[in-house]
Structure 1
Amino acid sequence: MSDTAAPALKHIFDPARLRHIAAETAAVYPRFDSKEFLKLALKDLDDLSLMQRLRRTTECLHATLPADYPKAIAILRKLAPRINSGFVTLVLPDYVGLYGRDDFDTSMEALKFFTAFGSSEFAIREFIRQDPARTLAVMKTWAKDESEHVRRLASEGSRPRLPWSFRLDTLMADPELAAPILEALKADSALYVRKSVANHLNDITKLHPEWVLKRLKSWPLDNPHTAWIARHALRTLIKQGDKQALGVIGAGKKAAVSISDFSVAPKKLKLGERLALSFTLQSTSRQSQRLVVDYAIHYVKKAGSSSAKVFKLKELTLAAGDSVALSRSQVVRDFTTRVHHAGRHEVDIMVNGERLASGFFELLKP
């Protein structure tokens, strides 16, 4: 896992939490050396980031639990329901990923068990990287498990580009390897699972868009669960105006519409102020239309050029001759992934992938 979280989150692993872990571990394993655990865990804690603190906790448990791996896992299984934070339970599968790679069967059962308390999505990737065929074979059975947590693990853990984790080169090169998992979950009843399947497929669109489009076209899109997955799986391609992707969700035809009263306000604003967009969308067709309405802001870069960022606005079915007023507002502020620069920012309205209106605002210098 990489460390891209906000610094404040590191306090999830504060001294009080570490003392809680020590006390609960001692409750299920009386021989546990709480004093040694805390001595190791609290050393230079202030200097550690969130993910460093998580890993430190894992290492300190390993230093103070039995050296015998199955015995340590048995203790951690008793500990899992006693930990008072879902995020903190990530320490348990992290232990498996770090120390259990030579005991495959014990580790698979442990990860399956731990995922219901937080998630084993990061740790399972260590095993996929080490032995993809054997690990994916187990995960295919998880895709049919009664627990939605286990089913989600099958999809989320095998995502090619899982955030906060390393990329799985094998699956990035050949998405067919995890296809049986996605097939088993294509109409899952749990939204928790469907979100993972959609994100998994969206990962794949960035390298193998044709593979995803072909698979989705073969799925029963009249099933509302499957249709939901398809819409969210294709979000990146839809923002790019990909006609095949738009066609899958029923919006592949050129939109017969006009746009009036397009407003971008205020025309000049400072960082931290709110930008408001509004316009009227009028049908010029004699038939109802499925429409995907997006807007793009062309953010000015430091060197003066610009780069467009597409935002979702509305998906709708517009009846023949009807019109609809649409609006959206957002605060213009810096993020860790985007720093704003002063200058003229173009704003486009796109319907079914085509630009139909343009405006602009000027971001003033601080």
Structure 2
Amino acid sequence: MPLDTSAPLLKDLINPAALTRVAALFGELSPGFDRRRFMAAASAGLDDLSILQRVHRVAESLALALPGRYADQLGLVVEAGPRLSGAFLNMALGDFVATYGLADPTRSLKALRRLTPYGTAEFAVRPFLRQDLAGTLRTLQGWTEDRNEHVRRLASEGCRPRLPWSFRLDALVADPTPLAPLLRSLRQDSSLYVRRSVANSLNDVTKDHADWVFDHVADWELDHAHCAWIVKHALRSQIKKGDPRALRLIGASDGAEVAIDDLSISPSQVALGGEVEIAFELRSLAPVDQRLVVDYVVHYVKKNGSPSPKVFKLKTVSLAAGSTLPIRIRRALRNFSTRVHYAGDHRVDVMVNGQRMASGGFTLTV
């Protein structure tokens, strides 16, 4: 029997058994909860819905089955947060707030603050930002000082201009200036979870306003490890492009006086589920030491046969004048929910400080 390399579907995380758990929990919380109505509404056409559509369906079904007005229902939804297992089911609680609570932002945002530790409310807070950017940002600014890292992370993640799986915040895509105080407040956060979000927020901004990001971080304390980490990851797209400003900020050399020797990509033909090894020697051509950012690019084959390049970080190295450094990495070729592989010839580029230095390839069979 051939190896099954397919990944489980995300949407199946909200299934009939999960819906039954939701109904049982809310039945315990409120004798007025209509379990039968919830199950009928939540289950209808479930097979045809994506994971985010299922999240929204749960929220809609809760609104139908919970007794009372929004304020009464909201209390039960918040009470369910710590007792409901499953990140996507908890996201449905946030979706309920976003769908039915826009007319009561003060109460609703307090609820999202309480819910986010159990299932991120990053998607749920965005309709409030779209409705009242300045007012919601004031609330998020207060969250940057919260003791809970999930709440601080929500402050940054929720207002990312281009958050994946969500709509763009067009006002912040056009002008990220309102984000500046919030991101600055988190620049030395002790939590990696929060710092990664701050870096992702800034990286979003680089797609439209790279100059703004360079200006914004110009006076950050780069001798502080947390600040330096955020800046490096925030500018990863610019680093991959070899932007001299980004390279200087992370202490890398402008340009790269190097050669790539003995590039080997093996095996030359690999089946889905296997892996390839990329190996080469990085040789200095400079009379002085260099600090270099080494990446590699895999040009994945899309369904229509065209290439889709994906840059992977390899390492940042200090290369002494005239020296040689062997580098080796293995890359798995398995299907994930975020990437499906297709058969064909895949080019691999070795990049140093954003410059393509050597290329090879392999053939993937499916």
Q: Same fold (TM over 0.5)?
A: yes
The answer to which of 317-326 and 189-198 deviates more is: 317-326
8 Å contact kept, 1:58–1:94: yes
Structure 1 pair 269/77, CA: closer, same or farther in 2 (3 Å)?
closer
The aligned counterpart of 2:297 is: 296
- Give 1:135 deviation, angstroms: 0.8
- Give 1:272 deviation, angstroms: 5.2
In the alignment, the residues of structure 1 paired with residue 19 and residue 350 of structure 2 have an alpha-carbon distance, to the nearest angstrom, of: 51
Structure 1 pair 168/364, CA: closer, same or farther in 2 (3 Å)?
closer
- Give 1:285 deviation, angstroms: 4.2
The aligned counterpart of 1:258 is: 259
- The amino acid that maps onto 1:100 is G
Structure 1 pair 224/307, CA: closer, same or farther in 2 (3 Å)?
same
The aligned counterpart of 2:46 is: 45
The aligned counterpart of 1:3 is: none
8 Å contact kept, 1:188–1:194: yes
- The amino acid that maps onto 2:72 is K
- Give 1:18 deviation, angstroms: 1.4
Structure 1 pair 303/235, CA: closer, same or farther in 2 (3 Å)?
same
- Give 1:164 deviation, angstroms: 0.9
The aligned counterpart of 1:360 is: 360
Considering only aligned residues, what root-mean-square deviation do their CA atoms show, in Å? 2.4
8 Å contact kept, 2:241–2:353: no
- Give 1:133 deviation, angstroms: 1.1
- The amino acid that maps onto 2:247 is L
Matched, 1:342 2:340: no
Aligned length: 359
- Give 1:227 deviation, angstroms: 0.7
The aligned counterpart of 1:59 is: 60
Q: Per the alignment, in what secondary structure is the counterpart of residue 295 of structure 1?
A: strand
TM-score, normalised on structure 2?
Answer: 0.89
Q: Per the alignment, in what secondary structure is the counterpart of residue 87 of structure 2?
A: coil
In the alignment, the residues of structure 2 paired with residue 46 and residue 257 of structure 1 have an alpha-carbon distance, to the nearest angstrom, of: 54
Matched, 1:232 2:248: no
In the alignment, the residues of structure 1 paired with residue 208 and residue 215 of structure 2 have an alpha-carbon distance, to the nearest angstrom, of: 14
- The amino acid that maps onto 1:359 is S
Structure 1 pair 307/15, CA: closer, same or farther in 2 (3 Å)?
closer
The answer to which of 138-147 and 39-48 deviates more is: 39-48
The aligned counterpart of 2:215 is: 214
- The amino acid that maps onto 1:327 is R
- The amino acid that maps onto 1:257 is V
What whole-Å deviation, never above 9, does each CA across 1:164-217 have from its counterpart, x for those lacking one?
111100010011111111000011000010010011111111111111112222
TM-score, normalised on structure 1?
Answer: 0.89
- The amino acid that maps onto 2:239 is I
The answer to which of 23-32 and 293-302 deviates more is: 293-302
Matched, 1:14 2:22: no
In the alignment, the residues of structure 2 paired with residue 351 and residue 159 of structure 1 have an alpha-carbon distance, to the nearest angstrom, of: 29
The aligned counterpart of 2:83 is: 82
Structure 1 pair 338/208, CA: closer, same or farther in 2 (3 Å)?
farther
Structure 1 pair 248/265, CA: closer, same or farther in 2 (3 Å)?
same
In the alignment, the residues of structure 2 paired with residue 364 and residue 110 of structure 1 have an alpha-carbon distance, to the nearest angstrom, of: 49
- Give 1:324 deviation, angstroms: 1.8
Q: Per the alignment, in what secondary structure is the counterpart of residue 110 of structure 2?
A: helix
What whole-Å deviation, never above 9, does each CA across 1:52-93 have from its counterpart, x for those lacking one?
221111111101113411111111121111112233111111
Q: Between the two structures, name the one with larger relative contact order (CA 8 Å, sep ≥ 6).
A: 2
- The amino acid that maps onto 1:288 is D
In the alignment, the residues of structure 1 paired with residue 230 and residue 142 of structure 2 have an alpha-carbon distance, to the nearest angstrom, of: 21
Q: Per the alignment, in what secondary structure is the counterpart of residue 265 of structure 2?
A: strand
- The amino acid that maps onto 1:350 is M
In the alignment, the residues of structure 1 paired with residue 306 and residue 24 of structure 2 have an alpha-carbon distance, to the nearest angstrom, of: 56
5+ residue gaps, structure 2, are 1-6
Q: Per the alignment, in what secondary structure is the counterpart of residue 186 of structure 1?
A: coil
Structure 1 pair 131/202, CA: closer, same or farther in 2 (3 Å)?
same
Q: Per the alignment, in what secondary structure is the counterpart of residue 165 of structure 1?
A: coil
The answer to which of 198-207 and 293-302 deviates more is: 293-302
- The amino acid that maps onto 2:188 is A
Structure 1 pair 324/110, CA: closer, same or farther in 2 (3 Å)?
same
After TM superposition, list the pairs within 5 Å mapping 1:1-366 onto structure 2. 8-269=9-270, 273-285=274-286, 287-298=288-299, 308-332=309-333, 340=342, 342-343=344-345, 345-356=346-357, 358-361=358-361, 363=363
Q: Per the alignment, in what secondary structure is the counterpart of residue 325 of structure 2?
A: strand
- Give 1:299 deviation, angstroms: 5.0
- The amino acid that maps onto 1:58 is A
Q: Per the alignment, in what secondary structure is the counterpart of residue 151 of structure 1?
A: helix
